[in-house]
């Protein structure tokens, strides 16, 4: 592979115009396709085959009007209860919204609340009317009976008496039938009022009202024009209007100011390390090209494949981070070789064959880890993993094809004039000797300088005090990992939005005035027996509602819709707490457990759907998928590192370190986003459950990135050991060679990920935090502290491998050491100044 990449680097150098032109065409084609064929992104995480999806499909068939998405608007009077003018203004605004194309129905809170408030009065009045009618009917019957007795006493035959009183009796029978019907209607009204207890649409103090808007499509499929128009019409003079998250979420913009800040920090690090704007700009340019092609291709497929809003964001995040790092490794190698006098064509080809080979392997580990997200069998996660893996693959291709072509155009401008002058002076010092002696003298001097410098700095300290470094690393990572035991998963609600957003204000106002449960009602679908008349069907509905309301932490359970054939009923269950709370998760479980009892007592089969139930299902499925996925990734890391380093202990050490950094990242996420520690620092205003697919994404991504640094650190140590150095000296030498570039790469990656901690897409924030901290800990605590400390302690044993296994394993030569030796023997030597 190293030889193939070496030839690819030469080809890119020789055909630089062709390579650049081809990538330009690809970028234009992908951009045009994304603009022409992109579809809508989604924040719905459905899993085919689950109860929530089956019930939703049933609603779309039996009750299409109840299958569309819904959103709420909270109206709040700033100072006092709504005035008559304000109420009229809200009612008029809702009437205009109801007339919009795409809106199925709108609930007027004042009219609905008036019905609920009047229900008690109407029921009391109805009871009085029924009592009076019943008394009147009883009196009429008594009077008719007395008349019959008188007629019988007068000697009339029974047939004549019956004939004489038939009309009066018919009127009484008709009145009795009407009275029975009114009693049944009143009983249903009483049960409806009972079911609606605890449900309000206007707050008790009259300062807030909540309107529900039912759409013909899911909220994820709503055009932005409809969202904007609804929010615009909801603005009423003198009233604060807060639209819920379903209306306000804007997932069309990928790049915000916080993400740009991370890229700016990365650019500064590159400039400090590489010394010129050209050299610093090349990794950024390569990353942007890779992101443009990878994320653009993802967008082009959104018209065919349903994707969550996190999918392109994840591709953007990873594409920027690995794109910059991979190019940095190659550029750094190329600069070093140029400064030593290597011709540019040979230097570019060798950099691609050596560092490019390591980049290829590192990229493959990330790609495999991301592609393995298909294993849990969750469609939205599979799409996310494949799209991110494709973006990383593009980043690797850019690094080994486009980068060498652009480096050919850049020439000597990737190195500063001061650094060139220093290199020329150093090369001239050895030029006076003949080639062989000069090369030997230079190598000997560089070896002496290298050994001396290796004793200093962080690597020297770690290898001199390995036990302190080992114990301190484990203590730090272990302490950070402790909160991970309390990890609780859920999907985000409006409480996770920024405090100044309409979605957060709607969430807060809803909880304040109407209870947290109103922010995420649970939808229950009931399958009623066939052949019921209207009264029997209504009775069944209220029987089921009574059962649902008996579940702990349920505030209300209201029948809201019944199909024309009276076989499908929809209930809205209002829990006590919000949709992401632990109690609501338990309510969903208890409602499902109640299904068997409801069926045995009423003959009605129930199932749950809606966003709250779907979120619980998704979180549960992801939690179940986490252990097997972790086992796959850990097993994969052992096999890959065994192939790369031809050692048994190094893969175990690398994998153990990965698990430590992973646990620490989990623990920190729980502490900040679930417990609220340092909440003001990270803009966590509403601590709650952790994003349900964060753990599985973090495992896959962090594994791949951790193996990147493991390769660049440990391969240098192995190369020094193979070249004859003592094991403990090889640790120092290899560490020093890789430390500078790995430090810069880690800072860059952390900066890019940290830029997403304050992303405008709040769902991505905890993932950005977890990745930034995970990379920080893995690079500096695990790979640059714990790993060299342990390798110093175990010495030669780090490279032990059974002979039979050594014969079976292929020699991958990831760093391209063999290629480097081969080309060094055949390549002519030139001074740095003459080479360019």
Domain count, the chain: 2
pLDDT attached to residue 168? 80
Both 427 and 337 in one domain: the answer is: yes
Of 740 and 18, which is predicted with more confidence?
Answer: 18
Average pLDDT over residues 158-175: 80
d(CA 553, CA 566): 29
At 150, is the secondary structure helix, strand, or coil?
helix
Question: Please, is 186 exposed, middle or buried when counting C-beta atoms within 10 Å of its C-beta (0-12, 13-18, 19+)?
Answer: middle
Per-residue confidence at 454, pLDDT binned at 50, 70, 90?
Answer: low
Query: Would you state the pLDDT for residue 830?
Result: 39
Q: SS3 of 560, please?
A: strand
Token look-up 């024309």 returns 564
150 and 6 inside one domain: no
Q: Where are the alpha helices (DSSP H) in 379-501?
A: 379-397, 403-410, 417-431, 435-454, 457-464, 466-481
Are residues 290 and 158 part of one domain? no
CB 689 within 8 A of CB 674: yes
Q: What mean pLDDT is predicted for residues 93-111?
A: 92
pLDDT average, residue stretch 138-152: 82
Rounded to the nearest integer, the mean pLDDT of the chain is 83
Residue 451 has pLDDT above 70, yes or no: no
pLDDT tens, residue by residue, 722-748? 777 788 788 888 888 788 888 888 888
Name which residue leads in pLDDT, 436 or 158: 158
Supply the CATH number for residue 400's domain: 1.20.1640.10
Residue 402 forms part of a structural domain? yes
Contacts of 279 (CB under 8 A, 6+ apart): 270, 331, 335, 410, 413, 414, 415
pLDDT of amino acid 80: 87
How many Cα atoms are found within 13 Å in the side-chain-facing hemisphere of 598?
A: 28
CB 369 within 8 A of CB 442: no
Q: What is the average per-residue pLDDT within 517-534? A: 89
Instruction: Please say if the pLDDT value at position 82 is more than 90.
Output: yes
- 691 forms beta bridges with 490
Dump pLDDT digits (tens) for 201-220: 999 999 999 999 988 887 76
Q: Tell me, yes or no, whether 257 and 365 share the same domain.
A: yes
Strand partners, 568: 527
Q: Give the per-residue pLDDT at 442.
A: 56
pLDDT at res. 236: 92
Q: What's the rounded Cα separation, in Å, for the pair 736 and 746?
A: 15
Show which of 180, 195, 210 is a domain's final residue.
195
**Which tokens belong to 677?**
């520690």
The pLDDT of residue 604 is 93
Residue 178 pLDDT greater than 90, yes or no: no
Sign of CA dihedral 580, 586, 587, 593: positive
Residue 259's domain spans which residues? 1-37+253-432+813-836
Are residue 12 and residue 115 in the same domain, yes or no?
Answer: no
Q: What is the DSSP letter of 78?
A: S
Q: How many CB atoms lie within 10 A of CB 163?
A: 11
> Does 133 score more than 90 pLDDT?
no
pLDDT for 829 equals: 42
In DSSP notation, 802-829 reads -HHHHHHS----TT-HHHHHHHHHHSPP
259 with 189, same domain: the answer is no
Cβ distance 10 to 349 under 8 Å? yes
Give pLDDT, residue 233.
93
Whether 138 has a pLDDT exceeding 60, the answer reads yes
Q: Are residues 15 and 131 in the same domain?
A: no
Question: For residue 394, what pLDDT band results from cuts at 50, 70 and 90?
Answer: very high
pLDDT band for 247, please (50, 70, 90 cuts): confident
Tens of pLDDT, residues 673-707: 999 899 888 888 778 888 888 888 888 888 878 88
- 818 or 589, which is more confident? 589
Binned at pLDDT 50, 70 and 90, residue 250 comes out as low
* HSE of 487, CA atoms in CB hemisphere, 13 A: 24
Predicted confidence (pLDDT) per residue in 775-834, tens digit: 999 999 999 999 999 999 998 888 888 888 888 877 766 656 666 666 655 544 433 333
At 766, which helix (H) or strand (E)?
Answer: helix 765-776
Per-residue pLDDT of 185-197, as tens digits, reads 777 777 777 777 7
Q: What is the per-residue pLDDT for 836?
A: 33
Q: Domain for residue 592, yes or no? A: no
Whether 526 maps to a domain, the answer reads no
Q: How far is CA 604 from CA 181, 544, 591, 607, in A?
A: 25, 8, 14, 10
Domain identity same for 188 and 257: no
Transcribe 576-645 into DSSP letters: SS-TTSHHHHHHHHHHHHHHHHHHHHHS-EEEEESHHHHHHHHHHHHHHHHHHHHHHHHHHHHHHHHHHH
* The pair of three-digit structure tokens given for residue 790, joined into one six-digit string: 């342990």
pLDDT in the model for residue 340: 79
**What pLDDT is recorded for position 439?**
53
pLDDT-wise least confident of 24-33, 137-146, 426-435, 466-475 = 426-435
Instruction: Provide the pLDDT for residue 832.
Output: 35
Is residue 558 included in any domain, yes or no?
no
Query: Are 287 and 402 members of one domain?
Result: yes
| pLDDT surpasses 70 at 323 | yes
Residue 75 has a pLDDT of 95
The pLDDT > 70 percentage for the chain reads 90
**Residue 448 placed within a domain:** no
Same domain, residue pair 12 and 141? no
Whether 434 shows a pLDDT value over 70: the answer reads no
* Percent of the chain at pLDDT exceeding 90: 25
312 contacts 295 by C-beta, under 8 angstroms: yes
| pLDDT computed for residue 289 by the predictor | 93
Q: What is the mean pLDDT of residues 601-609?
A: 92
Residue 568 lies in a domain: no
Q: In whole angstroms, what is the distance from residue 742 CA to residue 359 CA?
A: 13
What pLDDT shows up at residue 35?
Answer: 80
Assess if residue 269 is contained within a domain. Answer: yes
- For position 587, what pLDDT does the model report? 93
**Confidence at residue 100, expressed as pLDDT on a 0 to 100 scale:** 93
Tell me the mean pLDDT in the region 613-636: 82
Residues 33 and 125 in one domain: no
> Quick one: 118 and 15 in the same domain?
no
Higher pLDDT, 312 or 551: 551
Judge whether 258 lies within some domain.
yes
* Cβ within 8 Å of residue 129, ≥6 positions away: 182
Q: What is the DSSP letter of 568?
A: E
Q: Which residue has the higher pLDDT, 762 or 554?
A: 554
Q: State which of 145, 170, 195 marks the end of a domain.
A: 195
């Amino acid at each position: 592979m190293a030889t193939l990449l070496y030839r690819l680097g030469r080809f890119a150098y020789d055909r630089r115009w062709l390579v650049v032109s081809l990538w330009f065409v690809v970028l234009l084609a992908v951009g045009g396709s994304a603009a022409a064929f992109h579809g809508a992104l989604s924040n719905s995480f459905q899993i085919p085959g689950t109860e929530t999806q089956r019930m939703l499909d049933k609603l779309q068939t039996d009750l299409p009007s109840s299958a569309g998405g819904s959103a709420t608007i909270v109206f709040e009077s700033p100072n006092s209860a709504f005035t008559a003018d304000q109420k009229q203004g809200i009612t008029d605004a809702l009437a205009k919204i109801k007339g919009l194309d795409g809106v199925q129905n709108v609930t007027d809170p004042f009219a609905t609340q008036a019905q609920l408030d009047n229900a008690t009065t109407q029921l009391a009045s109805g009871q009085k009317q029924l009592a009076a009618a019943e008394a009147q009917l009883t009196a009429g019957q008594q009077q008719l009976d007395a008349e019959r007795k008188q007629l019988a006493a007068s000697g009339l035959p029974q047939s004549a008496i019956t004939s004489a009183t038939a009309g009066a009796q018919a009127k009484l029978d008709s009145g009795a039938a009407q009275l029975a019907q009114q009693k049944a209607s009143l009983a249903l009204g009483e049960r409806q009022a009972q079911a609606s207890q605890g449900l309000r649409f206007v707050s008790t103090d009259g300062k807030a009202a909540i309107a529900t808007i039912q759409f013909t499509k899911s909220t994820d499929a709503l055009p932005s024009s409809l969202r904007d128009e609804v929010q615009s019409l909801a603005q009423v003079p003198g009233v604060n209007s807060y639209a819920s998250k379903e209306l306000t979420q804007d997932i069309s913009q990928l790049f915000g100011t916080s993400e740009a800040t991370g890229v700016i920090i990365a650019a500064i690090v590159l400039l400090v390390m590489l010394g010129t704007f050209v050299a610093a700009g090349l990794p950024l340019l390569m990353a942007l090209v890779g992101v443009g092609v990878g994320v653009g291709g993802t967008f082009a497929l959104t018209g065919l494949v349903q994707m969550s809003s996190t999918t392109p964001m994840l591709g953007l995040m990873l594409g920027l981070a690995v794109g910059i790092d991979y190019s940095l490794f190659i550029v750094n190698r190329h600069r070093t070789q140029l400064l030593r006098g290597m011709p540019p064509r040979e230097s570019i080809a060798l950099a691609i064959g050596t560092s490019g080979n390591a980049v290829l392997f590192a990229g493959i580990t990330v790609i495999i880890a991301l592609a393995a997200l298909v294993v849990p069998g969750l469609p939205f996660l599979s799409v996310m993993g494949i799209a991110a893996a494709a973006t990383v693959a593009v980043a690797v291709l850019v690094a080994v094809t486009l980068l060498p072509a652009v480096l050919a155009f850049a020439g000597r401008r990737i190195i500063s004039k001061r650094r060139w002058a220093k290199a020329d002076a150093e090369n001239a010092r050895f030029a006076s000797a003949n080639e062989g002696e000069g090369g030997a003298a230079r190598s000997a001097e560089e070896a002496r300088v290298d050994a001396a410098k290796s004793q200093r700095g962080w690597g020297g300290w770690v290898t001199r005090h390995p036990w302190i470094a080992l114990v301190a690393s484990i203590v730090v990572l272990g302490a950070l990992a402790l909160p991970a035991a309390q990890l609780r998963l859920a999907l985000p609600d409006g409480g996770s939005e920024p405090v100044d957003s309409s979605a957060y204000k709607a969430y807060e106002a809803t909880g304040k005035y109407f209870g947290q449960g109103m922010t995420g009602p649970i939808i229950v679908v009931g399958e009623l027996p066939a052949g019921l008349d209207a009264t029997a069907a209504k009775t069944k509905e209220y029987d089921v509602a009574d059962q649902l309301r008996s579940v702990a932490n349920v505030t209300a359970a209201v029948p809201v819709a019944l199909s024309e054939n009276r076989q499908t009923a929809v209930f809205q269950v209002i829990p006590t707490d919000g949709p992401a709370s632990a109690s609501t998760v338990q309510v969903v479980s208890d409602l499902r457990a109640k299904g068997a009892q409801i069926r045995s007592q009423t003959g009605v089969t129930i199932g749950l759907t809606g966003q709250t139930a779907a979120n619980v299902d998704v979180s549960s499925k992801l939690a179940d998928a986490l252990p097997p996925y972790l086992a796959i990734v850990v097993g994969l890391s052992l096999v890959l590192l065994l192939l790369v380093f031809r050692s048994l202990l190094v893969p175990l050490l690398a994998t153990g370190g990965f698990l430590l950094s992973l646990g620490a990242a989990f623990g920190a996420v729980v502490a900040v986003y679930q417990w609220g520690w340092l909440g003001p620092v990270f803009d966590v205003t509403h601590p709650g459950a952790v994003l349900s697919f964060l753990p599985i994404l973090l495992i896959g991504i962090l594994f791949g990135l951790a193996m990147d640094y493991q390769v660049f650190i440990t391969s240098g140590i192995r190369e020094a050991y193979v070249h004859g150095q003592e094991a403990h000296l090889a640790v120092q030498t290899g560490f020093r060679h890789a430390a500078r570039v790995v430090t810069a790469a880690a800072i860059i990656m952390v900066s890019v990920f940290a830029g997403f901690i304050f992303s405008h897409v709040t769902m991505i924030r905890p993932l950005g935090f977890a990745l930034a901290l995970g990379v920080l800990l893995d690079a500096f605590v695990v790979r640059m502290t714990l790993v060299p400390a342990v390798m110093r302690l175990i010495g030669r044993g780090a490279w032990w491998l059974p002979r039979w296994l050594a014969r079976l394993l292929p020699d991958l030569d990831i760093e391209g050491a063999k290629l480097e030796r081969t080309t060094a023997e055949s390549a002519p030597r030139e001074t740095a100044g003459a080479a360019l």
